[in-house]
Chains A and B, each alone.
Chain A
Amino acid sequence: MTTTVAAPAAATPAATEAKVRRSWTQHGLLFVAPFLLIYVAFLVWPTVQGLRMSMSSVNIAGTNDTLVGFDNYAEAFADPRMWRSLWNTVVFTVLSTVPLVLLGLGFALLVHHLRFVQWLWRLSFFGPFLLPSAVVSILWLQMIYPPDYGLINGTLGTEFTWLTDPSTSMFSVVLTTVWWTVGFNFLLYLAALQSIPQHLYEAAAIDGASAWDKMRSITLPLLGRTTALIVVLQLLASLKVFDQIYLMTGGGPEDSTRPIIEYAYDMGFTGYRIGYASAVSYILFAIIVIVSLAQLRLFRKRAEGSS
């Protein structure tokens, strides 16, 4: 009992403030507790659990659960099909992101300058995005791509096996994806275009700027932030592609379209090897984290440079 007992704190204002702050903290915790609980139960815990599974040989029934260290990762890195599916994911991401950003911008500029029946243009570009992936996949699978009676072959008078020939399958899936999702980027660009102050163009016009000058010096720079956002969202969405490919080609023919998520799905749910599938998922997770961090740095640099 050598410490001095503090005097009753009630009188000092600093103590009151501390008390208020503490009670706020307590109340705040109480308020976020439900969210925290759900967050821990459905995100943190499964993430940790998944990491543990990725180092075990557990199967879909939860049996055969022995720790095998990094064996699954070693197997995955030596697995040509893992690399093939990873490569497919990269190819899909590049092939889809570029047109999705450029076409989104192009359509937005077009609609922005078309001054009549704007709702119709907006609807026609955005419409497909409203459809569920299953509807889009079946539509293209059953009506547009079939070799004998599909819309494309019927129109061109050809007999291409769009989805079952390994040389065209990825292109066909990308085409469907672009048709389906370009509307979202289009909408973001359109909103950004409409928020550019009109007086900038008026001032530029007075200075004698041509249409191309206005585009290069006003429109495109002011769309920069939107472009950055769209590229980030698009890259992440494309890296996580699964449903339309699963429904249209099942990853085939000959693995030519199988993305890494489907590979993890196939290994885990149809191959029953949950441990190995977890390892494959973690490899994708690591890649997404790296891509996100790289983009974050890139944008931070750009923001610093411009200020």
Chain B
Amino acid sequence: MQDPPKVTRRSLLGGSLALVGAAAAGCAIPVGLGSAQTRVQYWHFLGASDGIIMNQMVSAFAKDNPNIFVEENVLAWGEPYYTKIAMAGSGGRSPDLATFHLARLAGIGAGAILDPINVKLLEEAGLRAADFSPPIWERAQLDGVLYAIPFDAHPMVLYYNTDICGKAGLLGSDGKLLPTRNQDELLAMLRKVKETLGGKPPLVFDALGLGTVGPWRVWYSLYAQSGGTLLADDGVTITIDDQKALQALRLMAQLGQEGLCDPRTDYGASVASFTNGQSAFLWNGDWETTGLKERKTPFSMTRFPSVFGTGAAQADCHAFVLPHQRFRDPEVERATYRFIAYLIKNSADWAVAGHVPAYLPALEEPDYLALQPQSEYRSVITEVALDPQVWFTGSASRMWIEFGEAFSPVISAERTPEDGLAAAKASLNRLLSAPNPFPDQER
């Protein structure tokens, strides 16, 4: 152990009670009242099967650092999570560390709700800008100030059931799914599997439900493949290309109508259907890997199918942020950076959860390269379709939910692709016309 711990506001209460005991000597004693451990409060939303991996990493860190206690709080993903971060940060008595989606950074009021990252402390902990994938590192900054530390990118991927695909004769000699390079090949593959499954829909994804974002994810993956964009760099001019947007929506509508995907599955049902082998393909983010392995589903993963040109896939990035605190305890702060550095340097462990590390050295590690099927889709990292950088985008943002709502009925044929696109454009216009709650000059 290095220096004897300084008395802090946080440890004062416990420390003074334990003065008689071991705390004065600086030894770590069990967590609880009277503990000399530094407590780092950590909020995250990793509740899918990647939550299991995060929990293991927190435990591993605890083993290596007995003087730091990381209090892990798992909160529900989505809108409620960001509401909580905003409320906690605005009160100034927030957790010491929180996970975040990079695409939400522009909209959260960095500077007001998030505190900037202390680059000096970060370097002390052994992390430098050069260690990170450059485009992702850039997205972690606003006006040149670093507000987040990138952890990974998590693109849409294609999960496939190896048993069913084998029966349908879709696997190559290496046991991997034969690639599909355009719409016709994709449809042909799905039709073949539909036959194998006796007419049941071969493909599932999060197609409907409360606050569903699945239809947005699928559409944005397909649309970006043809080079389509939502907004110009100025962040106020809509650049949606109707032809390309409709082309993607028509494919989604056809999947539903032809019974090639199940238009009536919500998130949970889609994962369950794939897990139980009732469907052969799952379009989802890469984070269900651990759960599928634990439940012994015979599956593998590959990049989201390339249909309209490039192999782009919708993605966002997990990152760490420091919610605003009025009084930041220097000792807790140092411990926080140490914890962050531990997580990032062990990104290869994190990749087990399915995500592609943002920390470049991890991508070279043999441990990571040996991960199957996680390393199968790592090449997507150069073709990820990220959200435009405006205040209303990012995971579980209003835009995602409203686009999800606009496109969900297209899949179930309750709405034409044209009407779906019109609804999405109306949402985008509405979002653009509302004033940004955190205007730029405040930072």
A, B bound: yes
Chain A residues proximal to chain B, CB less than 8 Å: 57, 59-64, 75, 81, 141, 147-148, 159, 161, 163-165, 248-250, 252-254, 266, 269-274, 276
Number of cross-chain contacts by CB at 8 Å: 84
Chain A proximity mask over B207-219: 1 for CB below 8 Å, otherwise 0: 0111100000000
Most chain B CB inside 10 Å of its own CB: which residue of A249, A266, A272:
A272
Report Cα–Cα, A252/B406, bound state, in Å. Answer: 11
Given contacts A61-B89, A269-B87, A271-B398, contact A249 B113 (CB under 8 A): no
Report Cα–Cα, A271/B86, bound state, in Å. Answer: 10
B408 within 8 A of A: yes
Top 8 closest pairs, chain A to chain B, by CB = A61-B112, A59-B437, A272-B437, A61-B90, A273-B437, A269-B83, A250-B210, A63-B112
Closest chain B CB from A153 CB (angstroms): 11
Q: How many residues of B contact A (CB 8 A)?
A: 36
B435 within 8 A of A: yes
16 residue pairs A–B, Cβ–Cβ below 8 Å: A59-B112, A60-B86, A60-B87, A60-B90, A61-B109, A61-B438, A63-B112, A63-B442, A64-B439, A248-B210, A252-B210, A252-B211, A253-B409, A266-B398, A270-B83, A272-B437
Which residues on A sit within 8 Å (CB–CB) of B211?
250, 252
Closest chain A CB from B261 CB (angstroms): 15
Which residues on B sit within 8 Å (CB–CB) of A64?
437-439, 442
Q: Are A57 and B438 in contact (CB under 8 A)?
A: no
Q: Are A272 and B86 in contact (CB under 8 A)?
A: yes
Given contacts A61-B109, A164-B208, A272-B86, contact A253 B437 (CB under 8 A): no
B185 within 8 A of A: no
Closest chain B CB from A149 CB (angstroms): 10
B79 within 8 A of A: yes
Given contacts A60-B90, A63-B109, A250-B211, contact A271 B264 (CB under 8 A): no
Closest chain A CB from B114 CB (angstroms): 10
B423 within 8 A of A: yes
Chain A proximity mask over B386-420: 1 for CB below 8 Å, otherwise 0: 00000010000010010001101100101000000
Q: Are A254 and B405 in contact (CB under 8 A)?
A: yes
Which residues on B sit within 8 Å (CB–CB) of A253?
405, 408-409
- Chain A interface SS verdict (over half): loop
Q: Are B86 and A252 in contact (CB under 8 A)?
A: no
Which residues on B sit within 8 Å (CB–CB) of A163?
210
Which residues on B sit within 8 Å (CB–CB) of A81?
430
Chain A proximity mask over B92-107: 1 for CB below 8 Å, otherwise 0: 0000000000000001
| Other contacts beyond A61-B86, A159-B264, A272-B107: 8, CB < 8 A | A57-B437, A59-B109, A59-B112, A63-B109, A250-B210, A252-B401, A271-B437, A273-B437
B434 within 8 A of A: yes
Closest chain B CB from A53 CB (angstroms): 13
Q: Are A269 and B86 in contact (CB under 8 A)?
A: yes
Chain A proximity mask over B47-85: 1 for CB below 8 Å, otherwise 0: 000000000000000000000000000000001001100
Which residues on A sit within 8 Å (CB–CB) of B269?
148
Report Cα–Cα, A136/B107, bound state, in Å. Answer: 34
User: Which residue of chain A is the closest to B262 with respect to CB atoms?
Assistant: A148
Closest chain A CB from B270 CB (angstroms): 12
Q: Are B434 and A273 in contact (CB under 8 A)?
A: yes
Residue of B113, B210, B392 touching A61 (CB-CB under 8 A) = B113
Report Cα–Cα, A61/B85, bound state, in Å. Answer: 11
Q: Are A249 and B210 in contact (CB under 8 A)?
A: yes
Closest chain A CB from B129 CB (angstroms): 27
Which residues on B sit within 8 Å (CB–CB) of A159?
264
User: Which residue of chain A is the closest to B211 with respect to CB atoms?
Assistant: A250
Q: Are B423 and A272 in contact (CB under 8 A)?
A: no
Report Cα–Cα, A6/B324, bound state, in Å. Answer: 65
Report Cα–Cα, A273/B435, bound state, in Å. Answer: 9
Which residues on B sit within 8 Å (CB–CB) of A266?
398
Report Cα–Cα, A175/B87, bound state, in Å. Answer: 34
Report Cα–Cα, A269/B398, bound state, in Å. Answer: 12
Given contacts A269-B86, A270-B79, contact A60 B437 (CB under 8 A): yes
Closest chain B CB from A276 CB (angstroms): 8
Chain A proximity mask over B420-443: 1 for CB below 8 Å, otherwise 0: 000100000010001101110010
